[in-house]
Structure 1
């Protein structure tokens, strides 16, 4: 399976398990994660959720082959009804505390999803990127609001517009990471922190999370705007050029687009 799930000692672990494809995420993987997180809401045994990848990489983001195929197959289907959106909505709505352990690269949605986790622990040599503009698309799932709010407009613009990879230290400085650790300590530390959450009063943790996110109605509305724009741009000429160039293994040429 490309997504491994396990439940032990109050912790639900969701693990990317597709190392041969750099943990690139398919629609089926998104659906599995959405179903798992939604099911955890009514599971009293689950008191914390841990999301992790492999020691080599967290995730390369969307599997572009699957993404292109499913986008074509779902022509006419609202973007809001697709598995990727279902996953992010489940993560956004989760009342259980969510901990992330990040080693290696977290690309695209791999970085975006961290903005919706509660505790994020990363290797000091991890890399992050949000390359949506370079793909003829736009930021997704609140990143165009959360990244400037956390790190300031200038630094957020550099990440969101240029789409270049940035270091774990930069991610920490911008408030995306709770703590940086040596690579071989990340998962164990995240598991220990999740265990601490399990031992605390569950209702207190849920209410603390709810209160911390009390102002997110504006964020939710912003996410809807982003999703509509992202869905519209998927069929645009610039996105088609970006995806075609990727599959043809060449540099995209956006000079012909105004």
Structure 2
């Protein structure tokens, strides 16, 4: 059940913090369509709850998320692209969250496991974390407005290396590129992430919201880029080269 794969937690040690945890370790926390729907529900509820001041994403030991579930993508491609990708709805919901978002990354962060963090206000990562977006290797294109945000943050060369060349970034490289805020030991990651989230939750909420809005700037361009990327993404999902790439992946 997707409910088991997305766990919601309210840690006593972090008042005002809603933890959303990827919990599908046997599949390296790959995100299915049903999981996206659960994520949308969780974000919507947290955004509307005045008692929740900060949202925090966590994974399981050694894996944040391996990205989108390939079987779901292959099914979409085989269906001729019928229906709407739940990932698109999730991304728009994520962008629309009005509260600070913190993430703690330990281990693998692949595809949306990397790009989700672009929409977080603070990302902590363990030293063993690895960030990779193999979009082109799967005959796909960047998503989550990463084609807009990564060049802004890291410059063209690093953005091209990550998003087009599919190069892996270590935690140190991600920190140097400005993609994450802090590196902590893996044994301390979760506690430090919750401590960071609780610290934010203790601040005056309206002042923090205004500050966050000013730092983020206009999000219309982000929403527009998400939609532009999704058009190309959906088209590529139905391409012969993507189908071949997915089938090869599924045979591994």
TM-score, normalized by the shorter chain, greater than 0.5 = yes
1:179 positional shift: 0.5
Higher relative contact order (CA 8 A, sep 6+): 2
Query: 1:19-30 maps to which residues of 2 (within 5 A)?
Result: 19-30=25-36
1:74 positional shift: 7.4
Instruction: Choose the corresponding residue for 1:236, options 216, 235, 239.
Output: 239
1:70 positional shift: 4.4
Instruction: State the match for 1:193 in structure 2.
Output: 196
Query: Which runs of no fewer than 5 residues in structure 2 stay unpaired?
Result: none
1:39 positional shift: 1.2
Instruction: State the match for 1:147 in structure 2.
Output: 150
Instruction: Choose the corresponding residue for 1:172, options 172, 175, 189.
Output: 175
Deviations 1:101-153 (A, max 9, x none): 00001000000000001110000121000110110010001111111111111
* Aligned 8 A contact 1:27 1:67 in 2: no
Distance 1:42 1:237 in 2: 42
How well do the aligned residues superpose, as a CA RMSD in angstroms?
A: 1.4
- Partner secondary structure for residue 224 of structure 2: helix
1:195 positional shift: 0.6
Query: 1:28-107 maps to which residues of 2 (within 5 A)?
Result: 28-73=34-79, 75-77=81-83, 81-107=84-110
- Partner secondary structure for residue 164 of structure 2: helix
- Partner secondary structure for residue 140 of structure 1: coil
Distance 2:80 2:181 in 1: 38
Matched, 1:218 2:221: yes
Distance 1:97 1:206 in 2: 8
C-alpha change, 1:66 and 1:76, in structure 2 (3 Å) is closer
Query: Which runs of no fewer than 5 residues in structure 1 stay unpaired?
Result: 250-258
Distance 2:69 2:76 in 1: 10
Instruction: State the match for 1:252 in structure 2.
Output: none
Distance 2:123 2:238 in 1: 34
Instruction: State the match for 1:119 in structure 2.
Output: 122
1:73 positional shift: 4.7
Q: Which runs of 4+ in 1 moved over 6 A?
A: none
Q: TM-score, normalised by structure 2?
A: 0.93
Distance 2:217 2:27 in 1: 38
Q: TM-score, normalised by structure 1?
A: 0.91
- Partner secondary structure for residue 64 of structure 2: coil
Instruction: State the match for 2:16 in structure 1.
Output: 10
Distance 1:143 1:22 in 2: 22
1:66 positional shift: 2.6
Distance 2:135 2:171 in 1: 19
1:184 positional shift: 0.9
- Count of residues in Structure 1 that have an aligned counterpart in Structure 2: 246
